[in-house]
Amino acid sequence: MKVNKTLLIVCSIQTIVFIYFLDSGFLGSDWDSYALVGTAKIWIESNIYIPSRPPGFPAYELIMIGSLKLQESLKIPFEKIILSIQYIFLILSNILIFKMFMKTTTKSLILYSVVTLSPIYIISGLSAIDYLLGTLLGFLAIYISISQINNRNSILLVLLFTFSISMRLSNLIFLFAFLVFMFSKKEFVKNTISIFLGTLILTLCFYGYFYFNLWEPLLKDIYGNNLYELLCVFNLTNTEHTLFDRLGRFFLKQTNYISVFGLFILLFNFKSLKEGVKKDNLIYIIIFVSFQLSFLRLPTEEGHLLPAFISFFIILANTQQDLKLKKTLLVLVVLSNLVNFNFYKVDQIDSANSIELNFKFEKGQILEDYQTRKSKGENKLFHYQNSVDTLLVAWKNGCPN
């Protein structure tokens, strides 16, 4: 089988970054990675499930548990195990996205490179976090649905959708997009409903098992027999932003995918997007809009927007774009990994309360991420234990608000 040159170059660049990150032995720059370790350690030590953050991410938390247990038998640091797992899924994601682009048009490899060499895509793929894997499984189900529309394996689709949703509950959007798209085809209604219901049932069972291990040993003593109190797991934290703060975060964080200059290029060519708004792209339009709205609700980590980002460029691949503009966009995205033009400054990274204009060039996002994960990782044993203690304190009186 002949490997496409563009795909090979993308994977090679990512492999260099992977080796660079793996050598550090640190999970990532996102504090949620440490929360996942806390959940895994509590499960292993006490057989109690405490979500790393509401409402829980059980499928990925299982991977973290497995990595910690493999460490004992393989005598390999679990950080290297889970980062290697992430790397494998990143390469698989590259291949799937490549096939999705090629199915759309054979003239979109520059835009494919923009997606797969974007700093947020690479960082999410090489961090111990659930964004990439949930996105991979969701899009794989979508790809199979579109490619084998007359001969689909319903059981396989149910499993893919279930595990995607079990990675992140917001990945229900993939199932919703599938439902709407297939209903638009009309002749596949019965099979679509069976996949939809099968996914919901299996997902409820998957989450139900973990929620039971949260309710029985912990929440039942707090809430008594009022099982409906378990709905508190759907309380979201960090939602106290004003509308202005929310919109500010919503727009600013999206510039990190393609750089500030890259965003200007897209806005300059925005009118051509109407060409991509057609029935064949309905499923990607639904995914893009839905994940954007979901992010607007809680604009925190850029990785949440991966499905929207990928969908946007698949839609864009269906439009007439100037070749020079596409090449310029690719150059800007690649450079943003090494050198990043920033036009604002926040008072505190990860939990900003104020922002001010501050035009200057800074370290690119890959370099900055490495520096941040190294800074946090130098005291990683403390952070691991602190994540355990923090989770226990946060949940000791019931679900955190």
DSSP secondary structure letters along 153-172: -HHHHHHHHHHHHHH-GGGH
Any domain includes 334:
yes
Any domain includes 371:
yes
Provide the residue type at 250 as one letter. F
Predicted confidence pLDDT, tens digits, the chain (401 residues): 466 899 999 999 999 999 989 887 789 888 899 999 999 999 999 999 999 999 999 999 999 999 999 998 888 899 999 999 999 999 999 999 999 998 876 567 899 999 999 999 999 999 999 999 999 999 999 999 988 766 678 899 999 999 999 999 999 999 999 999 988 877 677 888 999 999 999 999 999 999 999 999 899 988 988 888 888 888 766 666 677 778 888 888 888 888 877 877 777 666 666 666 677 788 999 999 999 999 988 888 899 999 999 999 998 888 877 788 889 889 999 999 998 876 666 555 555 555 665 666 788 899 999 999 888 888 899 999 999 999 999 999 888 86
Number of folded domains that form the chain: 1
Any domain includes 401:
no
Backbone phi, psi, residue 212, to 5°: -65, -40
Any domain includes 400:
no
Cα–Cα distance for residue pair 52/33, rounded to 1 Å: 9
Given a contact cutoff of 8 angstroms between Cβ atoms, the answer to whether 185 and 20 are in contact is no
User: 3-class SS at 362?
Assistant: strand
Any domain includes 157:
yes
Any domain includes 64:
yes
Contacts of 125 (CB under 8 A, 6+ apart): 14, 86, 87, 89, 90, 93, 132
Cα–Cα distance for residue pair 271/273, rounded to 1 Å: 5
The domain of 313 spans 5-395
* Nearest one of 335, 348, 287 to 313, comparing CA atoms: 287
Any domain includes 61:
yes
pTM of the model: 0.91
Given a contact cutoff of 8 angstroms between Cβ atoms, the answer to whether 308 and 287 are in contact is yes
Helix axes 78-104 and 58-74, enclosed angle (nearest 10): 130
